[in-house]
Structure 1
Amino acid sequence: MRHDYADFDFIIQPGWNNSAPEHWQSHWQHSLGARRVDNEEWNTPRLEDWLDGLDRAVEASRRPVVVIAHSLGCVTVAHYARRHPHKLAGALLVAPADVERASAPPALLPFAPLPVAPLPFAARIVASDSDPFCLPLRSARLASLWQAPLVWLRHGGHINVASGHHQWEEGLAELDALLDAVSARQCGGAQRRQA
């Protein structure tokens, strides 16, 4: 089902080093009219800065907020959910980074440990079975902890420019599936309030 994207405010939450102009997040930002999180420092990320940047973007929104996150951005959303469980309607989490892995760059260590609580909003994880920054078992573990459906992208690498994902129009089907879940939650909440 194709949704009316005008019903939502979309926020692009990139990962470490931001997303380049040829990255699918940049293409989606333009096609969806989304707002990109404005962080002070993309190359040496600080969790508090990233959480503040995401919150500023959320506060500037007027419609239900759906975050489209990649890599370290997914971890940021999970941390954000612990502090602000009721501010997001949903999140599409693409190629979450395992900041606890032994080979994680020192710059990412402030984002550990990974949050383990279920996400309090509709979420959907898209992971690759060949992601060098998050092994399949770890992706599956995160999906279980966060209680989010997990969709596998075969041989997708880190689902970025380096793995050949530029406009990634196929990914919009995953966004639509997420919006189905958001709408179902909204309808369920409205029915409970009327009961």
Structure 2
Amino acid sequence: MKNAYLIHGTSTRDDDWFPWLEEEAKPTIALDRIWLPNPFNPQQAEWDQAVDDQIHPQDNLILVAHSLGCITALRYIERHHVKDARLLLVGAFDKGLPAYPELDEFMKDHPHYEQIFPKLAKATVITAKDDPIAPYQNSIAVANKIRAKLIVKEKGGHFLTSDGFTKFPLTLKELNRLAE
């Protein structure tokens, strides 16, 4: 069984499609939904420490991330010596969002892609054209920087429960592809 880790955004590890993906990934992938402190008032240093405490750096690491969890995953890869990492990023962005100035402090340290890209084996970025939180152009920019497979859905919003996403079969398909 392969191990993978899910890094959520400004929700909790028990929200949205995260528990569903954990169950559906079994028995081939053990998906650990990471606990992050203060998800509704995130602090970069606290999140980085929580992720470091729960994910042991290893080659062939598989990270699934959503929303603010995407930049957290990118920063994790940047900080650690890993080879052939695999990333599945949903609703990704790497710069501040005008509608959410409270996240500006969290976003001030931009990922250094020249340090991240060489550590990646495969990556997929999923976004939706109607995402009201992270404009899909931001996800496209992240995908280009890591040379990821890009999937742009016409509809899906930010892939939250409120957008109808308590299950998300596309993430399971891409997770299985990344784990091959």
TM-score normalised over the length of structure 1 = 0.77
2:63 aligns with one of 64, 67, 88 = 67
| Cα distance between partner residues in 1 of 2:123 and 2:105 | 24
Shift of 1:177: 2.6
Aligned to 1:104: 100
1:11 correspondence with 2:9: no
Judging by fraction of residues, say which structure has more strand. Answer: 2
**Residue type matched to 1:170 in 2?**
L
Equivalent pair of 1:36/1:57 in contact (CA under 8 Å): no
| Cα distance between partner residues in 2 of 1:178 and 1:75 | 19
Equivalent pair of 1:11/1:66 in contact (CA under 8 Å): yes
Any idea what SS the aligned residue of 1:77 has?
A: helix
Equivalent pair of 1:128/1:136 in contact (CA under 8 Å): yes
Shift of 1:18: 1.7
Equivalent pair of 1:128/1:156 in contact (CA under 8 Å): yes
1:30 correspondence with 2:33: no
Structure 1: where are the runs of 5+ without partners? 1-5, 181-195
Equivalent pair of 1:9/1:64 in contact (CA under 8 Å): no
Equivalent pair of 1:29/1:36 in contact (CA under 8 Å): yes
The CA RMSD measured in Å over matched residues stands at: 2.4
Any idea what SS the aligned residue of 2:156 has?
A: coil
Aligned to 1:144: 144
Structure 2: where are the runs of 5+ without partners? none
CA deviations over 1:125-162 (Å, ceiling 9, x no partner): 11111111222322211111122121112211001111
Shift of 1:110: 1.8
Aligned to 1:53: 50
Equivalent pair of 2:97/2:103 in contact (CA under 8 Å): no
**Residue type matched to 2:61 in 1?**
V
Aligned length in residues:
172
Summarize the Cα distance change of 1:174–1:35 in structure 2 as closer, same or farther, 3 Å threshold.
Answer: same
Any idea what SS the aligned residue of 1:34 has?
A: strand
| Cα distance between partner residues in 1 of 2:62 and 2:105 | 26
Shift of 1:88: 6.8
Any idea what SS the aligned residue of 1:18 has?
A: coil
Any idea what SS the aligned residue of 2:125 has?
A: strand
| Cα distance between partner residues in 1 of 2:52 and 2:107 | 17
Shift of 1:113: 4.4
TM-score normalised over the length of structure 2 = 0.82
Equivalent pair of 1:13/1:69 in contact (CA under 8 Å): yes
Aligned to 2:175: 175
